[in-house]
Each structure stands twice: as structure tokens, then as C-alpha cells.
Amino acid sequence: AEMIKEFVNFTSVLNGERRFDEAFDFLDAVRLRWGNHDEYGAIIDTLLYNSTVIAGREGREDEALDRLSFRYKQGDLSEETFRDYRYTLGEGLIYRYSKAGDPLESLAELERLRQQELISDSIYREYRAVLHIQRAKEISRDQGDLEALDYFRKEGLQSSADPRLRQALEVFTHN
């Protein structure tokens, strides 16, 4: 029990230093030599979460996806957790992309993330609405409200149930 506690503590230190691969390698060696224990689950979860978030922020999503897939195949995380961490990565990617790119490019990225099942339905709907509204505001600023309304029509947004899109449509219509 004391040895397991020290293994977890050492792995936690590596996690704190962002030495995720070393932490996984160490824990894999421990489990191979002395067997797996329930106590390792929490640190594995922490390592996976932290490494996923950090890799996503730093633009290393392929690395994060590879690690998650490998750990999923190893049985280190459930299917639900695997999906949730993929969503966490995708949410970070679309956030970063939407801040750096224009709305049309961000909408294309959002669709790509959805096709790759890297984004939840709720986040997809949220970003879809926000990005379309941003695009319509650009059009309104540059070409007028009638053109923004035409954008809504062309994109099929005028019949959306999303309250954000409905409110934006009302504003452009009123203006």
C-alpha cells in the first residue's frame, strides 16, 4: 500500500511538471511489474485530462488524440470518458480557432470538428449560432442590414429555434 502511494505521488510530480509521457511510461512499467490497482485510476484520469487540455491549447491536437486513443485501447478510460475528453479537445480547438480566424473559416472548422466527432451537439449549436451572428454583423457593417438578412436567408437561419439567432434576426429586421 505504501509503495502504491509513492508511485502515485511520483506520477503526480511528473504531472505537475507536465512530463506526461514520462508519467505514463513510469506508471505502465509499475503496472507491468507489480500489477494494476484501483488507486491508479485517478492519476491516469488527471494525466489524460491535463495532457489533453494542454496539447489542445498548444495546437498539438494530433498528439492529444493519439494519446487518448492509445489509452482507450489500453483500457485506461471508459468509452464515455474517451468521448468527453475528445469533446474537451474539440471545444478548445474551436474556441482557439474562432478567436483567431474569421467567422466563415471558423464555421468550416466547426463542421470539420463535428464530422470527426470532436465536438458535442450543444457546443456545436452554440458556436454555430455565435459564428453566424458574427458573420451577419460583418455583413451588416460592410453592406447593410438587408444584406445581413439575406445572409440569414441563404444559410437557412431564419427558421432556427435558437434564441440567439432569432434575436439577431429580429435586430436586423428591425434595423
Is 27 in contact with 40 (CB distance < 8 Å)?
yes
pLDDT at 45 over 90: yes
What tens digit of pLDDT does each residue of 138-159 get?
A: 999 999 999 999 999 999 998 8
Which pLDDT belongs to residue 31?
95
Residues 76 and 87: their CA atoms lie apart, in Å, by 17
pLDDT at 56 over 90: no
Q: How confident is the model at residue 81 (pLDDT cuts 50, 70, 90)?
A: very high
- What value, to the nearest 5°, has the Cα angle with vertex 81 and ends 83 and 110? 30
Query: What is d(CA 47, CA 156) in angstroms, rounded to the nearest whole number?
Result: 43
Residue 1, C-alpha cell as written in the block? 500500500
The band of 21, judged by pLDDT with boundaries at 50, 70 and 90, is: very high
CA distance 52 to 83: 12
On the question of pLDDT at 101 being above 80, the answer is no
Q: What is the pTM of this model?
A: 0.82
